[in-house]
Structure 1
Amino acid sequence: MDENTRVFVISMAAELAGMHPQTLRQYDRLGLVSPGRTPGRSRRYSMRDVAKLREIAELGSKGVSLEGIRRIIELEDHVRMLESRLRELESALADELLNRPGRRVFAAGPAGEVISMRAGTRTRRANQIVIWRPLALRPADGEK
């Protein structure tokens, strides 16, 4: 069973969330938590729904209005969806880069220009040592 499996009747979900069942019905009407329905139209809640109910209670105890809570939940759901999409795109990009024959690698040159390189090669790096001293600690002209 995963966190999205809708198994809890309203009384059990209310108990797990520390709320009254009528509060859950109100939140359902407002669209804050939308439980699944059985063929007989009774509500079934998942562990994710219970966690969301607990979050609603916490936000409400901090003085956030129901409309504010609805907006926060909506934005959190949107962020979760965008993060999921980002992971999909990163995976697709990684697959494309690994599977494309003749792929090229790019590096930055000393002046910030883009240098195209063959895969498996490295750029030449400067290996001189530069010593930096703050102006207040630098010797005066002629001193060493």
Structure 2
Amino acid sequence: MNIGEAARLSGLPPKTIRYYEEVGLVKPSRAINGYRNYGDRDVHLLRFLQRSRSLGFTIEEARRLISLYEDEGRRSEDVKSMASSRMAEIDRKIAELQSLKRALADLSERCHGDDGPDCPILEEISGDRTGR
């Protein structure tokens, strides 16, 4: 099948599929005319990549997950360790976002939001505590 059909079946845009090929995650065969020829295994792999990326795994982590998936002698603890590391990173990002939200809430509360020029939000962003 061509890249358009592979894109439709995998739910990924052709540009992403070409990128995955460029970084060596998928290796479709080539027809005599040079066009990519995707098989069922390629589409399965593309779906696997789409799902792993949607769970927040990086390209290199997705590469490792593919390797583990294809290794019948894999240890599930290796996969669980990757998932645990990803969850810890997500927790770190959530804490960072919550801190940002608290800072913005504080600034928003201190801003009068009227037709006057004073704005603690802009003062904080500019680093100017004097009002200009």
1:15 maps to: 8
Quick one: percent identity of the two aligned structures? Answer: 38
The answer to whether 1:40 aligns with 2:33 is yes
- Structure 2 unaligned blocks of 5 or more: 75-132
- Structure 1 unaligned blocks of 5 or more: 1-7, 84-144
In 2, distance between residues paired with 1:58 and 1:75?
Answer: 15
The structure number with the bigger radius of gyration is 1
Per the TM alignment, residue 76 of structure 1 is displaced from its structure 2 partner at its CA by 2.0
CA deviations over 1:67-102 (Å, ceiling 9, x no partner):
1001111222232xx69xxxxxxxxxxxxxxxxxxx
2:60 maps to: 67
1:27 maps to: 20
For this pair of structures, how many residues does the alignment match? 74
Correspondence 1:32-111 to 2 at 5 A: 32-79=25-72
- Give the residue type in structure 2 aligned to 1:27: Y
In 2, distance between residues paired with 1:71 and 1:62?
Answer: 14
The alignment's TM-score, normalised by the length of structure 2, stands at 0.52
In 1, distance between residues paired with 2:67 and 2:35?
Answer: 24
Q: Secondary structure of the equivalent of 1:34?
A: coil
Higher strand share: 1
- Give the residue type in structure 1 aligned to 2:41: R
In 2, distance between residues paired with 1:73 and 1:52?
Answer: 8
CA deviations over 1:38-79 (Å, ceiling 9, x no partner):
111110111111111111111101000011001111222232
The alignment's TM-score, normalised by the length of structure 1, stands at 0.48
Q: Secondary structure of the equivalent of 1:41?
A: coil
Q: Let me know the Cα RMSD of the aligned residues.
A: 1.5
In 2, distance between residues paired with 1:41 and 1:63?
Answer: 33
1:109 maps to: none
Q: Secondary structure of the equivalent of 2:46?
A: helix
In 2, distance between residues paired with 1:47 and 1:61?
Answer: 21
In 1, distance between residues paired with 2:52 and 2:26?
Answer: 14
Q: Secondary structure of the equivalent of 1:50?
A: helix
